[in-house]
Amino acid sequence: MSWQEELRKLDEELASGRLSADDYRVRRDQVLSSAVNHGDNPEETPQQPGQDPNSTQVIAPVSPPHGTPQPNPQQNLGGSEATQVVSHWQTQQGQPPHAPQQPQYHQPGLASPAGGFQQPGPVSPAGGMPLPPQQAHPWNAPEADQSPPWGGSDLPPLPPATHQDGAGQGADSFETSSGGGKKVLVIVGVVALVAALGVGSWLLFFNGSGDDKQAGPAPSSSVAPTSTVPPKDDLEIAVLPGGPGERTDISMFEDVKANQVLTEDENEIYEEAGAGKARMAVAELPSGADAVILTVEASSEDAASTAVEDLVELQEKNGMDPYDGTLPAGVQGTQIDKTDSFPAAARAHYAHGKTVVRIQVSAPKLSEVGPSFEEIIATQLQALSADG
């Protein structure tokens, strides 16, 4: 197949869309370069006698397929638009300086050169011929699409930008926004001022009322609570100075027996009184003495009073003497000096309703027992007063 036929075949493939423009140019350049390097066939391109080797011979362009519309043949092909081939092996023959205009056509649906597809350029020396120069811009290529990516030729054109409501531009819009902003700031300031005045008036009014109600002096924290304050229950034990405090493991008289707090005789007296609930607290006083308070609920007030008399009599029977200090009414006390087995101690018993109250203070010396003993009795009487 000659190079003319190959070019014709490429034209047909380009026209039918089976070949892209880029592939067409690459393959066309290869065909032309191959034709120049290997020489033309005399049968395919007959030489014209008498031609000058330096003259030019115009090679007719490849004829377009049948039915292709032909452009106006009167178009002027000038300068770089004309395609000429100069062959040094052709005979000398005078040629006109410009090649005659050749018919040209456009491939349907594809961009083609204004003067037809380019033919081989000037012949190079025997060593070979350079490829035709590539144009910087494709022939008759459409102008670059300047629409945004979401636009394009397949979509309707974007409407021109117009002024829309809510999006002001220019000096007028800034003036309007500024004016509105000032109004909003004025309104906000007025509302804030009114709210501040209201809150201030409210605080002033109620604070003034509170001052009138709290005109009396606050009670001193050092003053012990009075007996008018109702006890938590009938087994209440006053808060003693020092620790550790109330025994949480004792809530019934059975717990008292289990911890062996009392003697067997004392336990019998409590049981005869119908002992039930119980409470116990211990403390190490700042004076160095130890204090123990026990409250036990009896079955009745008479049972509680009888238990108190029997307990005091039992203490004297066991070697204790009547307390030689001063005790409040309704409170009976006994004391004993230290022995080899026990320290000096003082005990008090009294009844509060159905409750039997027992107070004991012990110290290394009997002289150290009295002051702390009387102080603890006074404190407990504020929690549970003595009957009679």
Could you state, in chain order, the average pLDDT of each consecutive group of 10 residues for the chain (388 residues)?
82 84 86 72 43 48 49 43 45 44 44 45 45 46 48 47 45 48 76 78 57 47 48 86 86 95 96 96 92 97 97 95 94 94 94 97 93 94 92
CB contact at 8 A, 268 and 210: no
* Contact in structure between 214 and 350 (CB atoms under 8 Å): no
Angle at 204 between CA 201 and CA 206, to 5 degrees: 105
CA distance 204 to 197: 10
Please tell me the predicted confidence (pLDDT) of residue 205. 57
CA angle 225, 228, 231 (to 5 degrees): 75
Radius of gyration over every alpha carbon of the chain, rounded to an integer in angstroms: 64
Domain boundaries, the chain: 1-142, 244-383
SS3 292: strand
Write down the pLDDT at residue 101. 46
Given this model, what pLDDT does residue 39 score? 55
Cα–Cα–Cα angle for 190, 192, 194, rounded to 5 degrees: 70
Q: Comparing C-alpha atoms, which of 242, 244, 238, 216 is closest to residue 226?
A: 238
- CATH of the structural domain 244-383, one choice from 3.40.50.720, 3.40.30.10, 3.40.1000.70, 3.40.250.10: 3.40.1000.70
Residue 180: its pLDDT value, please?
Answer: 60
Phi, psi (rounded to 5 degrees) for 298: -95, 175
CB atoms under 10 Å from CB of 224, counted, come to 11
| Residues near 186 by beta carbon (within 8 Å), at least 6 away in sequence | none
| C-alpha triplet 267, 271, 275: angle, nearest 5° | 110
